[in-house]
Chain A
Amino acid sequence: MHNIKKIAIRLVLIIVVVTVYDSIIDYLYRPYKDSVTYTMQDRKKLEGTLETVFIGTSRVQRGISPEIMNEELGTVSFNMATSLQLMDGTYHLLSSVAEENPVETVFLGVAPELMLSDNDATRSKVLVYERMMDWKDRLSYLIDCCPMQEWPYITLYSTQVEDYFDFDFVEKNVEFKQSEEYKTRKTGKIRYRNNGMYSLKKSTDDPQVTFLEKKESIFQPSSVNKEKEEYFKKTIEYCKENNIEVVLVNMPISGNLIEELGDVTTIHDYYSGIAEEYEIAFFDFNYYKKLEETFDNQRFENEKHLNYGGAKVFTKVLAEVYKSYQNGEDMNKYFMDTCPYYVAE
């Protein structure tokens, strides 16, 4: 008994020291630009009231503005998307939100390339983990989706810092975090918008498009990762079981990329199949009639991501389409049978 007490005291000491140390490192080294702090602040404020959730990858995170959607639909919405979010992360994140909020609608944006990948980036898991409020949800996510080898990296910020010796950065970072600008969020330095939305560009309507990468057509239904597809379906089933409406959204990509990829039809057919199977709505914005004029290259910050101006336009369009869908209107007035870029060819 004496030994147990002795060991317990020492274990508590270790846990306390590691927790305090990790918090200090987090404060010093986590870049002020990192959206997670603001996201969690907003989540806490709105906890228990969220009705609409946008979830998926960075295309959703940067492409849908909850603020505009709230105005358009009169709802309380939140953007839970994160970079490279995998389907198992989506499932856990969504269930953690739905358990604490009266969620009615989920806009689910799945990036086709992430349905194929076998190499799951640990960094993407960190982003999902950090957006969970409850320790039970976090633990369940770790056990279910992360190999134990990744646990220290995912749970402790001090293991994620890449350069401990960049003291200039630390000085500027801390200085800014202590400033009013940081607290009030009124600055061009912060790219976090609101309710989980994050935009890369500083200005609201930056017209410059930077083409980061060119990718070849890779999407084939046969090469979809079975485990990811299972989680995709599990997410939809979870929503249906909990009377949550699922709207599957394929975010618009730039014309340059559409022309280069050439597999937009394959992607559309794959998602249509899933939507039909589960009888849910599917809005493919690469089949949007006014795609070329509404989402020209000026609306993107790179091939895959809308800029803030593009996001504002897109959110309005999405709200309009969704309202029409709810009113039982014909969706053919918005969408074509094929991608407009292919018709133009």
Chain B
Amino acid sequence: MTINSLAFLIFFMVLTILYYLPFVKKYQWVLLLAASYIFYTLAGNHNLIYIIITTIVTYIGAILLDRKNTIQEEYVKAHKGILPKQEIKDYKEKIKKEKHKITFFCVFINLGMLIVIKYGSFLMGNVGRIFGKENLSDISFLQIAVPLGISYYTLISIGYLLDVSKGKCKSEKNLFKTALFVSYFPQITQGPFSRFTEMAPRLFTSHKFSYENLSYGCQRILWGFFKKMVIADRMKPMVDAIFENYQECSGFSLLLGCMYFSIQLYADFSGYMDIVCGCSNILGIELAENFKRPFFSKSLAEYWRRWHITLCSWFRDYLFYPLSISKAAVKFGRIGKKILPPSIAKLVPSIFALSIIWLSTGLWHDASWRYVFWGIYNGVIIIASMCLEPWFIKIEKKLNIKAENKLFQGFQMIRTFLIISLLKVFPIANSTKGSLVILYKIFFEFQMELSRAACFPTFKTEDFFCVGIGLLIFIYVSFKQEKAPMHESINRCPFVVRWAIYLVLLLMILTFGVFDTGLTGGFEYAQY
């Protein structure tokens, strides 16, 4: 059962009816937990052992960490002004070390499972290659099917443990409530990455039925289906046709393919997000937003603040900040000051942290060298643009280009779109070699050809109309949303206009959407 299936909609409808029954009110969270596990099983995960282990480890770890925080607080409170400051400081340091041990142990188990299941084969394959034993990756315990959503719920759990460790939130004393936080069904397969501090009050309290929530939720679900079925699913065969035959395609066709894939992936992933956020809204639980019109970004760094926002903020809060103030970063900073110009030297700790982050982000997506390259490529561009920023500012001043100039902003957006489209050679190819061949062809065998077969392979006339109309609406809505939330504008419309919009959108899905089940499938990001 995927989120875009009728089965899911029926499942969700039944859940919503049960959820708002008067006698269920107190136990809404229990129902959500049961629904999450049922959904997880129906989505194809019959082996629940990994998510259960993660939940138990997270639950115990959080309680132990919280206990340490309480012990420390009580100790400080009882001895403040009595014991010397140094002694209190030493005590805090001791507790900190103990907390580190607990955190390390829990993260080791949770992350360890992810590494063994998702990266074991990749790591052993590479070790085997180094030592001339090609079949090392065939070890039976490494051949476990990767459980759906493991990359998502592992990071969500680790984030929670780190928050408790830092005292940002209290631990949850109920194991089943922790289980719900880890497995909450709208976010388990593709995110967003929620924080316990935000989610706990929404998940564990009772919600009254609200027609406004239902209306807003349905709007988002409808919009999500429109993006997924009219744009993403229609474009998929064309993108597949280009990259399945990349050897025969010119660099020009491949570059176009990368651009199409950027649009397809955005429509697919943001469509998914709209559907799950809409569902969660109906249940009265607001999820974090994951997209903010990324194609309006004027730089790659801004793009990553608008695309997969919760993943980026996770890496920023739990990896970037700790790394940039770590001992190693400070050490690198000192070395940088000696050998680099001051404008760059001050960036060295950030560069150090960014390098590790982009490597990790690449590996988080998939255990393969092409994603390592993808991470390096992202990191290099962002670091280079950071280092070159002073020069860019100088050039802009010399050429008298103003940042608010619409034309210049347009240029920046197109430039960013091209960069992120080029980055797509890594996820779209089926191997590292394939990615590098595609890149080579784009740069050295460009051969611009404007025929329909070269620009839009497999695209029929009706596909042009369907995707064209879909994209026009998509772009219009994006521009409107950049100024104000679209649902607010719709809600201000009279009933007839509002319902005309909904019905037209629904009929457009029926008319232009892809329903042939041979062509539709799950979502692109579910593979991560």
Chain B residues whose CB sits within 8 angstroms of the CB of A3 once the complex forms: 209, 211
Q: Number of contacting residues on B, CB 8 A?
A: 25
Q: Does B461 sit within 8 A of A, measured CB to CB?
A: yes
Closest to A10 in B: B499
Within 8 A of A (CB), among B312-369: none
Q: Does B7 sit within 8 A of A, measured CB to CB?
A: yes
Query: Which stretch, A106-114, A144-152, A253-261, A297-305, touches the partner chain B?
Result: A144-152
Q: A122-B516, A163-B460, A165-B461 are in contact. Are A151 and B6 (CB under 8 A)?
A: yes
Q: Is the CB of B209 within 8 A of A165?
A: no
Q: Is the CB of A148 within 8 A of B510?
A: no
* Contact count A vs B, C-beta below 8 Å: 64
In whole angstroms, what is the CA distance A147 to B518 when docked? 12
B439 to chain A, nearest CB (A): 36
Q: Is the CB of B510 within 8 A of A158?
A: yes
Within 8 A of B (CB), among A19-62: 21-22, 25
Q: Is the CB of B462 within 8 A of A149?
A: no
Q: Is the CB of B10 within 8 A of A156?
A: no
Q: A122-B516, A152-B6, A165-B462 are in contact. Are A7 and B510 (CB under 8 A)?
A: no
Chain B residues whose CB sits within 8 angstroms of the CB of A21 once the complex forms: 507, 510
Q: A7-B214, A165-B462, A165-B465 are in contact. Are A153 and B499 (CB under 8 A)?
A: no
Chain A residues whose CB sits within 8 angstroms of the CB of B515 once the complex forms: 152-153, 156, 159-160
In whole angstroms, what is the CA distance A122 to B520 when docked? 13
In whole angstroms, what is the CA distance A7 to B513 when docked? 25
In whole angstroms, what is the CA distance A156 to B461 when docked? 23
Chain A residues whose CB sits within 8 angstroms of the CB of B465 once the complex forms: 164-165
Chain A residues whose CB sits within 8 angstroms of the CB of B499 once the complex forms: 10, 13
Q: Number of contacting residues on A, CB 8 A?
A: 29
Chain B residues whose CB sits within 8 angstroms of the CB of A149 once the complex forms: 5-7, 517, 520
Q: Is the CB of B518 within 8 A of A122?
A: yes
Within 8 A of B (CB), among A238-258: none
Q: Is the CB of B506 within 8 A of A14?
A: yes
In whole angstroms, what is the CA distance A161 to B499 when docked? 25
Instruction: Tell which of A6, A17, A152 touches B211, judged by Cβ atoms closer than 8 Å.
Output: A6
Chain A residues whose CB sits within 8 angstroms of the CB of B503 once the complex forms: 13-14, 17
Chain B residues whose CB sits within 8 angstroms of the CB of A6 once the complex forms: 211
Within 8 A of B (CB), among A164-189: 164-166
A111 to chain B, nearest CB (A): 21
In whole angstroms, what is the CA distance A335 to B506 when docked? 58
Q: Is the CB of A163 within 8 A of B462?
A: yes
Q: Residue-by-residue, is A116-146 near B (CB-CB < 8 Å gives 1, otherwise 0)?
A: 0000001000000000000000000000000
A5 to chain B, nearest CB (A): 11
Q: Does A73 sit within 8 A of B, measured CB to CB?
A: no
Q: Is the CB of A122 within 8 A of B517?
A: yes
Q: Contacts A156-B510, A158-B511 given; 7 further ones with Cβ under 8 A? A: A3-B209, A17-B506, A122-B516, A152-B6, A153-B516, A159-B513, A163-B460
